[in-house]
Amino acid sequence: MFRTYCKGVELTCPGHNIRNPKAKKTIAVTNLMAQSRWALTGTPIINNLKDLFSIVRFLGLSGGLDTLEIFNAAIMRPVLQHETRGMKSLQMLMKSVCLRRKKEMAFIDLRLPELSEYIHKVNLLPHEQEKYDALDAQAKGTLELYRNKMGGRDAADTYRHLLEVLLRMRQLCNHWKLVGEERLDSIMKQLEAEGIIDLTEDNKIALQKMLQLSIDSQEECPICMEVLDDPVITKCAHVFCTPCIERVIEIQHKCPMCRAELEAMASTTVKPAKEIAAPPPPTQEQIADKESLDQNASSKVNALLSILKASAKDPANKTIIFSQWTSFMDVLAPHLTAAGFIYTRIDGSMTAVQRDAALETFDTSPETTIMLASLSVCSVGLNLVAANQVILSDSWWAPAIEDQAVDRVHRLGQKRETKVFRLVVEGSIEERVLGIQEDKRKLMSLAFAEKEGGRKKGRRGATGLADLVRLLNGPAQAGSGTGAQAQTQA
């Protein structure tokens, strides 16, 4: 949250909302005339050090650090190159402008109950492993093809295809049904042949799927070089922030990537698809068909149910199940009902009134012991202390998002010991995602000098070439065995 005083008016907003230095809201609040400014955020660095630059510029620091080029030369580039001077400069900056308080610090006594985190390893069923191995082989082949085409005309299409396969691998770790047979091959062939596609309804749906790949992978806008903010995809299948491509279309009416004609925003771009409302609860006939449910189970669904059944021995336990895919929540819901659990749900398709009603039910109903929650919707701004257990069914690229989600439960008002279970398929891409998360946490620790310096590398995001190689070829993040405790903090 940042706060500034302008003509006696106090304005507040989460500080991490201004991390894109070229976003209109960032420019607007930075240009406010104010006598004093301060920012409050639990995540000053989400992906890379550029996240920090916007807050530094908002605070109005002198000496050139309010200029991206100087900030990059003095801090960002030296840190990326593991130079001691860059690390010391970053630490001196944070020490000068930042007062950091963490709930686990010894001198802060929030009297919170203990938080225990576990990594729960899952082994794929034979038919799931067969599908995963096929996707893994396809991804490695596509990666090699992309390496050979780098800088060429078709490199972007190959890269996008690689992202799609990686997404399917991650989804398969949750449930094999999430990996549909419908692929983007036909639209890719049309793009290769003609460079653009007609915006028919079917093509719009296909473009929205391609756009979602870029969003899920936290790609950067090729114009502002920031993580996509209010993204759109053009009819030539290039993804930009809406404000960035608006300016380009107004000036030159051409795509900056391929020079395709773009007459106007409305007729040449497509926005992300809206989340579809959750399907109705399963009927008694569907629940009674246990054989069909068993056939539709997955290794991760079975592991999740085993955790829930064990925790149900204490009827006072309540659990939040976070997932980044609402489609997985749709698949999981019938299994919860068949197992006798009563649940509620919050996702992006619900109105504010519906979300409030779901929260009220979860808070007040002793029978409602589970909430299915979309990670993107519930990671900030909610109080979920009615729960005392969290299950992270899949891993997000940015660990700060997951940490914020857990902190919706483990916060002031929590009276019970809190447990966090992270479900990870052993030997899969999920283990390597944990390794990327750990690097981003080390960058935050480096900024605050919480550990020894050394070779700690700040990362640009989850989809650079080095990260793609790492996701497919390892090394995997070492973790505890099934059910083994990974971390405990007071």
Q: What percent of the chain has pLDDT over 70?
A: 78
Architecture of domain 127-270: 2-Layer Sandwich (3.30)
Q: What is the reported pLDDT for 184?
A: 59
Q: Is the pLDDT of residue 341 over 90?
A: yes
- Is 115-123+277-471+479-489's fold the same as 127-270's? no
Sign for the pseudo-dihedral over CA of 152, 267, 227, 78: positive
Single out the residue of 135, 191, 194 nearest to residue 158, CA to CA. 191
For 314-335, what is the mean pLDDT? 91
- pLDDT higher than 50, residue 370: yes
Quick: pLDDT tens for 206-253. 888 888 777 766 677 888 877 787 899 998 888 998 888 988 998 888
Domain residue ranges in the chain: 2-97, 115-123+277-471+479-489, 127-270
* Residue 217, number of CB atoms within 10 A of its CB: 21
Q: What is the side-by-side order of every strand in the sheet holding 484-489?
A: 342-346, 368-374, 319-323, 389-392, 418-425, 115-122, 484-489
Predicted local confidence at residue 217, as pLDDT:
66
Which pLDDT does position 234 carry in this prediction?
92
Which stretch of 131-140, 244-253, 405-414, 460-469 has the lowest confidence by average pLDDT?
460-469
| Whole-number pLDDT of residue 210 | 81
Task: State the burial class of residue 239 (Cβ atoms within 10 Å of its Cβ: 0-12, 13-18, 19+).
Answer: buried
pLDDT at 181 > cutoff 60: no
Specify the pLDDT at position 321.
96
Superfamily of domain 115-123+277-471+479-489: P-loop containing nucleotide triphosphate hydrolases (3.40.50.300)
Most confident of 36-45, 113-122, 267-276: 113-122
**H/E segment holding residue 331:** helix 326-338
Q: Is the pLDDT of residue 481 over 90?
A: no
444-479 pLDDT per residue, tens: 777 776 654 333 333 333 345 666 777 777 654 434
